[in-house]
Every structure is written in structure tokens, then in C-alpha cells.
Structure 1
Amino acid sequence: MNNLNDSLPDLMRRATDDLEPESNDLVERGIQRGVTLRRRRTAMLGLSGAGAVLATAGIIVGGTHLFAGSTPEPTVAGPSAPATPSAPATPSDPATPSAEPSAKATSPAQTLATLRALLPSGLNQSAPRSEKDNGLFSAHVVLDDGKGASLVTVKIVTTKPNRDCAGLHGTCQVRPDGSVIHSYANESIVPFAPERDPNGIRNTVVEVFYPDGRLISLYNYNSPNPIVAHTRTNPLLTVKQLTAIANSDQWVYPPAVTGLDEAGLPPNGKPTVPLEQTQQQLKSVLPRGLQFTRPETWGGGTNGFNGASYVVNDGKGAARVDALVQYETKPVTKCTGEGPQHCKVRSDGSVIGWSKNEPSYGDERQAINGVLANRVEIHYPDGRMISMTSYNGPSEKNDKHTRAKPMFSTDQLFAMAGKPGWKFPGTGTK
């Protein structure tokens, strides 16, 4: 499991292997949630069968966090007249802002104002917005030079410092002051299979890690939104321009996020649970007489979650079934309009969510593979969470369906998820 030293853009680019056009939870939420949902992204990418992509990875496919969205800061209305940034620096330029973080108060609105002031002059700015999430501040502006709209996003956080280029692809350098600058240009956000992104989205990224834990990440896309069709061949801003913006001494960073675990979340101190126990429990709650193949687990140890799956067959077609258990950082206590299609608060205070016949794709690929899912979640008042998913094929994606509907109904999934034998893992740390 990687920690907060991981590259935010690297996590996004590697975690979008299964990008879909309407996949707001996959892309937009991933961008917004940033570092603090590392553990939950890890868990959910395992559910999509892509656990090797971040050995850390997994992002929000029917995810456990979907009931608890962040509240955005008020949007700054209307584009302002931006100032031209100071002379651009390249990734090899040792010139950096002061190594000491500012003591001034900050807010996401201020982050947005700083971004808008540092953007090159002569560009139309629209759709400004900002938000915060557990110490991570984000700001977004859509730019247009008359040749197509281009979203630029900045994320700033103060956390555990990264001191080297390990695990960062593209161009990376440790600068004389000990900061690490990392960049790549015009890359598909589905880097290992760009043909799987019908929207043709590319991004250019620059980020700077400072020895005191400050981290700034800048993303620029060749579209006004990473989940819609591209509006230009490449992102509007270059690595050189983004580097100049990142190096500015005008940024005011939020206070340090302390006491985080390896996943970038507050440790819960709950004991870990062996993955084998979760796998065995999944098998024990499934009906007898099934053929079990392709067992899989993910998470475990100090990750704070356990995932397990089987491909089962009742003689009418192979079908995958998943289970994921964990203690949530903040217990879910109410329905918020996010997450699965349906939600209800039960008399015991637990919150349940469920979706029926949920398609795996939102475009023409759905007609080709036809995979559907029934999904349930139970969020207990003490923070325990269990999610179970049943498909009508041997995998969520990349395989054709083998039966008309998922093998198990939501009622059956709730019955299995509610069995008393489930053990809920924590990080094992305090």
C-alpha cells in the first residue's frame, strides 16, 4: 500500500483503466476526493477486477464512500482579469518558492483565487469552483484560448513528505532544496489502453513535493471535463507553464494533516483480519451446490479493508460475486442522495443502499458485453461496512454476460451480508 507520498495524478491515471463516459464516480469523484480516499479507491478497484493497477488501487465503483460526499466551497462567480505568472521554469529549474510554509490562514476559495491570478493572461476563464476534503484543497477553472475548452485543476495539501522519485513515471527530479518535481505531458488518462476512452481525454500534470510536506498538483485536460469528449488535441497549458504556476510563492497551503495511516486516513486502531477468513466467510454464506472457481482477494493487512470474490456457477452460467468489509473512517448515519440507487435508514440505525441490474458500461460496450450487477451495502452505526455485488457474468468488465440477470437478487445479497460471521478489519494501528 502506498502512502501519501504517492503522486495524486499518478493515482488518477492508473486508477482510470476502466474509464467510462458517464463514470462520474470513477473520474470526477476521484479527482475531488484526492489523497484522503486512497484506502477506499484501493478497495473499489479491487471490486472491478483491476486490483493490480495500484496495488493500491480501486476507485469508486459502487463504492463504500458514496453516501458521504464532500461539500464544495462557494464558487467564485465570473472570471477575473488574471495576471501573467512569473517567468516559466522547467522541471530542471532549481528555483522554487520558500521552503517555509505560510502561516497565513487559507481556504479553498483563496486557493481558487490564487489559481485564477496565476493563469496566463488572455485566456477566457469560466466555471470556477473549489472544495475541501479532510485537509486537501482543490480549485478548478475552465480555460479557452479560442481553440477549445481546457480544464485546469490544482490540489494542495500539507502531509507526509515525499523525498524521492520512486514510483513516479514521466520526468522527475530531486531539486537542490530537497523538493521533488514530477511531470508528464499530453498523456491519455487511460494510459495503458487509450482506445478504451472514447472521449480521447489527455492531461498534462506537474506536481511539487516539498521537504516540509507541502504538495501541489496541477492538472490540465484537453476538455472542459474529464468525462466528456475532448475539445482540443492536447491540453492548453504546457509543462513549462504549469511548473511556473506550481513554483509561485503566492500559494498558501492548508495546515498539515497529521496522524494519518498508510492510506492517508486517520488510523482506526481496529485489528486486522486475515484475507483467508473473509474468503472463507464469503464461501460459507453462498448457497450450497455451486461450482466455485477463480477465487480472488485484495486488501488485507494494514490496508483497512478486505475484499474477496468467486466466480460461481449453478449450471445456468458463470457469475462473479464480490464482498468487501471494512471499518469506515466516519460512520454513515443517513442517506445523502449519493451512492447506490436506493437508500434506507433502518430502525437499528444502520444505513442500507442497493442497486438492481446496474450496467457495467454507459456506452455501446454495454450492448456488446451486457454485464449487469446487483449491489448492496450495509453501513452500521459503529463504522462497520459490508458491500456485496452479484454479476450476470464472470467479471464486471471485458467478459460477456452468461445469464440474463445477476445470479443473486438484492434480497439474497442482504441476507448473506447480514450473516453474523463477517469479521470487519481495521488498520491494526492507532
Structure 2
Amino acid sequence: MKSHLENLINIESNSRTTEFNSLESALLNKLNTSEKGASLGLATLGNDGKLNLSERPFQNVFIFRPGETSPSYNVFNNWTNLVTSLTYTKGLKYIQLDDTLQSVTIPFDISNLNECILLPRYKKETHLVVNFTSGFKFSGLPLEIIGLRLQFSSRIFDSTSTNSLSLTDSILEYLSSLESCIDLVSGNFYVFLKNSSIQGTNKTVFSVRSNSLHLYAISGLCNVDFSTITGLTGATLNIFNQNANYINQNSFLGPQAGFTGQKNEIDPGHILEKTLSQKGQLITKNSSGNWTTLSTGLDNELFVFDSSSITGYRITNLNSLLGLPGMKSVEYLRQSSPNTTLLIAGNKTLDCSISNLFRITGGNATFTITNLAENQVINVILESTGSSYTITWSGGSFYWPNSTVPIPTVTALKKDFYTFIKVGGNIFSSCLLAMG
């Protein structure tokens, strides 16, 4: 019995050992040894208690800190070493620029950063300034640039296929007048701005050939400086404002005198602002359903509905309305009259479009009535100085009581009150003399 039990235990033990060895072998075959910390999965700690550098797993954050005296792991004080390290990591990578020790200057190089996002190591109140040495070029543009002010003084990229540049809370500043910063050789080029700007007035940032440049302002305050884009016939510039604000009056893109190709702009978020260009304009839709404006008229004119006009409105004045055919009943009407100050004696033109009451010192004169509309009433008060004088009335066919023009009052301080109304093109006149 004892022998039998020992035999069963021995068989079970050997079976378990065999299964364990088989499992261990299978796991080793499935593990990618190039990604293990050390051979057989065993790691070695340094004196500092951290994994040895050769055994640490790769990560996707790279820090460029000029002036660092003891660079280690993912911290670099040499740009070339950093770019070389990028090639060992696949997928998305972050390059954090750190100016805590020295300002950041990128040396002459040709760098492919098409899998990288550039951003500051620490968030700052102002943009971290990054100066690129003249001659620096991208063989592949970064995926995105965040929180940086990039300063270039030479061409940085030749775009020979479809490419894009994305700026978030950033500034691209171009300082050279010798050549373009980005040359669009062929293919479309897309620029995405989020609270960002492109600066370099009168310096060519984008040179567009027989292809297209697409500018998108997505959010925040966006701006592209004056005269930063050039392009001849055959070049296309498409401007899309999705939800951004801008500094210039009509667009986030300043005037581009050097661009003579086709320009298209879409700005649905600011269509009302652009449609209204003058003080006092009203916005409406025309018969085609498109937005349009009704321009301002003269002072004291009115807007009235008019189904026959394009906008459905027209500008007119009260006198024109009163002159329309048909009977009218006005229960109470008060007309404003700014010219109620006493005018000096002498010839006068009485413009009825700006006033319906005139006060004039007595004296020899000719009074010419103008702009008196049909059915309009005006009043003229002549104030005597004590001397006789004569008045000639002109400006229409006047009708007087008994066909006699009144003789002005001579007595000092007395006032003659004249009333005129236009009916059928004639001016009917009356006067109350020597009021006092």
C-alpha cells in the first residue's frame, strides 16, 4: 500500500513539473525579447533604486533642455541626440522644450518630426520663444505646435505633397525677406489655427504655386499678417473661419497684395458682421432668401414696407407719404423744427425738408421756398424793427387772399404770421398781421 501511494505521488509531481516547464517555455516564446527589461524578464536596479537605463522601457516624452549638465534618460541637452532617439520610438511622441537654464535655440539640422507634438516643458503666461538657426529645415512637419513662439529666418519646408501645419496657442514668426518660409511646390497645404497667429508683415511665409493653400481659423483669436502670402494665376487660397475671432475688420487674414490667384472665403459665424458695414444699416433677406442690407438714408427719413423693392423696404420722408394719392386723416401731428432761432434780415432760402418754422427779422428780402411737399404746411414769422420793408416770395405759384400780397407791419416788435400749404402744386398762403 505504501509503495503504491509513493508511486502515485511521484507520478503527479513529475506531471506538474512537466506542465510548469511547458508553460514557462510557451511564455518565453510569446514575449517580445526586444521589449523586455532584461534577459528572461529579470531587471537590474541601479544604486539609486531605479532601473538601469538599458533596461527601462521606451516612452514617448522627450525633453530638450539646453544647458543641462547631467542629461539622462529622456532629458537631452543636444538636439541631434534627441532627434536620433526619436527614431527608436514608434508612434506619437512629445517633444517638451525647457528654457529654465537657457533660452531655446534649435541648431542647423534637417529634422523629421511628423510623429511629434512640440510644446513647452512647463506652462507659461507668455509663449516660450524657440529660435531656429538659419538653414534649419523640416523634412516632416510636427503634428501640432502648442504654446510656442517659433522664430524662423530661412525657408523651413518644401511641400511636395499634401501636408498640414497645426498651431494651438502659438505664433509662427518669420523674419527673413530673402525667401519664402514654406514653399508650396505641389499638393495642397492646410494650416489649422487655434488661438494662434502667423506673423511677418511684408515677408512671404507661404509661397503658393499652381496649387492650394487652405487656412482654417478654428477658435480663439486668430490672425495672419498682411502680405505674408504670395501666389500668381493658378494659385488658390481658401479661407475658412469656423468659430474664431479676429483683429482685422473683415477677416482673420490681412490683405495679401502679392496674391493674385483665386481667393475663396467662408465665414458663417461672422456673416452678419460682414454684411453690416455702416452705422444705422438694417439687415434683412431679399427675394432670393439671401442676407442683404438696407443702407441708411438722410436724417429724419423713414423706412417703409414696399413689396415691390428687393429688400421689402424703401427709404422715404414724411412729406412724400403725405403727398401720396388718397384722403388722409391725421388726428395729432407734431413736427420737429430745429430752426426756431431768430434769423437776421436778408435774402433767405427756406428749406422745408429740414424745418417747418422760420423766424426772421424784418427787412427787405426775397424768400425762396424749397422742398415744400404736397399737403405740407410751414409757418414763417417776420418780426418788425419799426421800419418799412418789402418782401418778395418765390419758389412756386402763390395764392393770397383777394389775390393781394400782405404789406409787412411797420410797428416795432409787432409780428406777422404767415402760413403756407402746397395743394395741387400751388402754394396757398395766408397771413395774420401785427400780432403782439
TM-score w.r.t. length of structure 2: 0.19
Report the structure, 1 or 2, having the larger strand content. Answer: 2
Max radius of gyration: which structure?
2
Higher RCO structure (Cα 8 Å, ≥6 apart): 1
TM-score w.r.t. length of structure 1: 0.20
Report the structure, 1 or 2, having the larger helix content. Answer: 1
